[in-house]
Amino acid sequence: MNKIENLSEFANKRYGQNFLKNDAIIKRIIQSIPNDNLKVAEIGPGLGDLTKELILTRNVTAFEVDKRLCEHLQTTFSHAIHTDRLKINCGDVLKHWEENSLLNENYHLVANLPYYIATNIILKALKDEQCQSILVMVQKEVAEKFSAQAGEKAFSGLSVLTQTVGFGELLFDVGAENFVPPPKVTSSILLIRKNRSEDNKDFEDFLKVAFKQPRKKLSKNLATHYPKDKIEMLLTELEISLTIRPHEAKTSMYHHLYNELNKDNIDGKQQ
């Protein structure tokens, strides 16, 4: 493929293409990868700026949906591909992920994610048993939602899911000026270190109910699906105010409430 002359014109909005053009930030991302020998899965290598640094120290499997970029990567990295340092899968990463795991060995996910599917990808990685950590660039608000602590405004169902399997932290922000073309939002680097995996759709649905109206009382949100007297009894037993808001309750409390409220009824609803 010929040299890409005008990146802004080349970038395809449909695929969330904002190319990171700052070597210092790429180095900071690389330095934040957990220190071991595990393989790296990169989603959306784009022009390969991050990939180029990753393959200096890691074996990498990359997933790129855009055919033009796939061809470009195959040419640019022909040596690394030939020596098995790099494998490139062309196509939608979500199709590759239809099975439970993205790779059939333990790996770290490292990516400047396409923002339109970033939340979905992180949720899949949290459930994927082979995935040991998630180091991704996402929209700042998304990073905050996954990494917030109970009591902080951004604490959400996504924070509870993160804390259920590990620990999330927002490492640093990356301004729009570091990309071509610049996105309309500020980005952040999010790191989630996992110590286990969990895939529990019922618990996810429970959290959606609990955080449905984030500024309302938790008891009110839960009362749309569970008996009010039972919710109040459980909160009283835990010595928790009946007026607690969803972002103020801890992850352990959500697990306790979920288990107790679903004890007698298979679908959680009282007959």
Phi, psi of 90 (to 5 degrees): -90, 130
Token pair for residue 157?
A: 């169902």
Q: Residue 67's CB: how many other CB atoms inside 10 A?
A: 10
Is residue 16 part of the contact set for ligand SAM (CB under 6 A)? yes
Among 25, 40, 65, 191, binds ligand SAM (CB under 6 A): 65
Is residue 64 part of the contact set for ligand SAM (CB under 6 A)? yes
Cis peptide leading into 181, omega within 30 of 0?
Answer: yes
Q: Which residue has the tokens 């949100």?
A: 221
Is residue 20 part of the contact set for ligand SAM (CB under 6 A)? yes
- Nearest-approach distance from CB 34 to ligand SAM, in angstroms: 19
Q: 268 a known binding residue?
A: no
Is residue 221 part of the contact set for ligand SAM (CB under 6 A)? no
Q: 92 a known binding residue?
A: yes
C-alpha gyration radius of the chain: 21
- Nearest-approach distance from CB 192 to ligand SAM, in angstroms: 18
Length of the chain: 271
Task: List the strands of the sheet with 60-64, edge to edge.
Answer: 86-90, 60-64, 39-43, 107-112, 131-139, 187-194, 166-174
Q: 64 a known binding residue?
A: yes
Is residue 166 part of the contact set for ligand SAM (CB under 6 A)? no
Q: Are the CB atoms for 64 and 77 separated by under 8 Å? A: no
Q: Residue 172's CB: how many other CB atoms inside 10 A?
A: 12
- Nearest-approach distance from CB 133 to ligand SAM, in angstroms: 18
Distance separating alpha carbons of residues 206 and 257, to the nearest angstrom: 10
Longest dimension (CA), the chain: 68
Cα→Cα distances 25→17, 37, 247, Å: 17, 22, 32
Q: Are the CB atoms for 73 and 42 separated by under 8 Å? A: no
Near ligand SAM in 85-144, by CB under 6 A: 92-94, 112, 114, 117
Among 25, 45, 86, 154, binds ligand SAM (CB under 6 A): 45
Among 41, 50, 60, 192, binds ligand SAM (CB under 6 A): 50
- Which CB, 46 or 166, lies closer to ligand SAM? 46
- Which CB, 61 or 112, lies closer to ligand SAM? 112
Among 69, 131, 142, 222, binds ligand SAM (CB under 6 A): 69
Q: Are the CB atoms for 219 and 231 separated by under 8 Å? A: yes
- Nearest-approach distance from CB 40 to ligand SAM, in angstroms: 12
Among 4, 10, 15, 52, binds ligand SAM (CB under 6 A): 15
- Which CB, 13 or 263, lies closer to ligand SAM? 13
- Nearest-approach distance from CB 115 to ligand SAM, in angstroms: 7
Token pair for residue 15?
A: 């695929």
Q: 112 a known binding residue?
A: yes
Q: Which residues are annotated as a binding site for S-adenosyl-L-methionine?
A: 18, 20, 44, 64, 92, 112
Interface residue list for ligand SAM (CB under 6 A): 15-20, 43-47, 49-50, 63-66, 69, 92-94, 112, 114, 117
